[in-house]
Structure 1
Amino acid sequence: MTSPLRLALILGSAREGRFCDVVAEWAQRRVVRHGGFEIDRIDPLDWPLSGRINRSDEAQLQQLRERLHAADGFLVITPEYNHGYPAALKALIDACYEPWRAKPVAFVSYGASSGGLRAIEQLRQVYGELHAVTLRDCVNLVHAWRQFGVDGELREPQAAHQAMTTTLARLSWWAWALRDARTAMPYEAAA
């Protein structure tokens, strides 16, 4: 029997009072509802990711690498800060190299008028360099802080729920396909 897909749900913000928690909780509930994934939630607040890596941090960073390596796919929850993605997310991505290879990456973004799309476009370039496969389908939440009620649910959820359903279906497809491909031939053996 094949084991379920392992999904790393990655929070992209480390700001105090961040809205990322609200969006990540919503996304996680949607993933659970979709089914088919074991979720490993990865938060930059849990790791020494200042941009300067000390030898004393290496053991903790190795744990991060192992968790990312175990993932079959990634769902990145990112805000858009000043037309880009947050430094904490960049530090998390740059702390590792190999665990991203030949794995799919999907995005849930939020921000002001663009809903975080500029952050996603920049992340596509970064993940491409890491040999990851980014999905075209995504969820972007324009003025997200206005869209969520105090209960953490969307006030008008139809469009976002449909976008998430499509994103998760495609993420699942790519995660299965690439897991099978990595099993048949390790990515490193391809070139």
Structure 2
Amino acid sequence: MDTMADQPLHVTVIIGSTRAGRVCDTVGAWFAERARLRDDLAVEVLDLAAYAFPACYPEEATPSMRRFADTVAGADAFVVVTPEYHRSFPASLKQAIDFAYDEWQAKPVGIVAYGSGSCGHYAVEQLRTVFTALHAVTMRDWVGIDLLAAGIDESCRPLDTDDRLRAVAAMLDQLTWWGRALRAGRRDQPYVS
């Protein structure tokens, strides 16, 4: 019998930087490849650079804003890939997060963060605060990458070190547990914010 519990968890990996010359898409592709090795996950990549978001928040949602919110609504869980900029995360990511609200509720969020000399710790802490306000659940474990340390190739693609793969596995195990539990909870009783 095919039940919802047997279905793979639909995970959307969000590429959070739109900056020219970014490496966020490289780091995101590396992570998505690792996540796709799991049979219990159906992984989709959402690149914010592919959206024509307005510079100012309009009175009515634009088609790009609606398309983004619909993608968020259709996911069971998320992994946000972000650089750390000035001890936080990019404005492009905050803008996109703000284009959805109810769509984030009662869903888990994992984080892959990176920086030059930093593993993205401050970006992670800022994102935890934002997602808590949106009634989403962030994972305790996260994947941090220092672009200036060993274990990065010339294109800024992370190498598969044992520590890094353990961090990916731990975060995805937590995301999967929370994703299944919250998917069942949303099915059985609508979330009340």
Q: Normalization by structure 2: what TM-score?
A: 0.90
Q: Structure 1's 44 and 104: CA in aligned 2 closer, same or farther, altered over 3 A? A: same
1:128 matched to 2:151: no
Q: How many residues align?
A: 189
Shift of 1:64: 1.1
SS of aligned partner of 2:25: helix
Q: What amino acid sits opposite 1:79 in the alignment? A: P
1:151-166 superposed matches below 5 A: 154-155=158-159, 157-166=161-170
Counting only pairs closer than 5 Å after superposition, residues 93-172 of structure 1 correspond to structure 2 as 93-143=97-147, 147-150=151-154, 154-155=158-159, 157-172=161-176
- Could you tell me the percent identity over the aligned residues? 34
2:87, 2:62 → 1: CA distance?
A: 32
Question: Unpaired runs of 5+ in structure 2?
Answer: none
- Aligned: 1:89 with 2:93: yes
Q: Which has the higher helix share?
A: 1
**Cα RMSD for the two superposed structures:** 2.0
**Contact kept? 2:117, 2:149, Cα under 8 Å:** no
Report Cα offsets for 1:118-171 as digits up to 9, x if no partner.
000000000000000011110001126853224775446111111001110110
**Counterpart position of 2:77:** 73
Matches within 5 A, 1:39-58: 39-54=43-58, 58=62
TM-score norm. by structure 1 comes to 0.91
Unaligned runs of 5+ in 1: none
Cα gap change, 1:61 to 1:145, in 2 (>3 Å): farther
1:177 counterpart SS class: helix
Query: What is the deviation of 1:113?
Result: 2.7
2: CA distance, partners of 1:103 / 1:145 = 33
AA in 2 matched with 1:162: R
Instruction: Work out whether residues 7 and 75 of structure 1, in 8 Å CA contact, stay in contact via their aligned partners in 2.
Output: yes
Q: Does 1:186 align with 2:190?
A: yes
Quick one: which amino acid aligns to residue 171 of structure 1? Answer: L
Say if 1:6 and 1:34 are closer, same or farther in 2 by CA, change over 3 A: same
Shift in alpha-carbon separation, 1:150–1:120, aligned structure 2, 3 A:
same
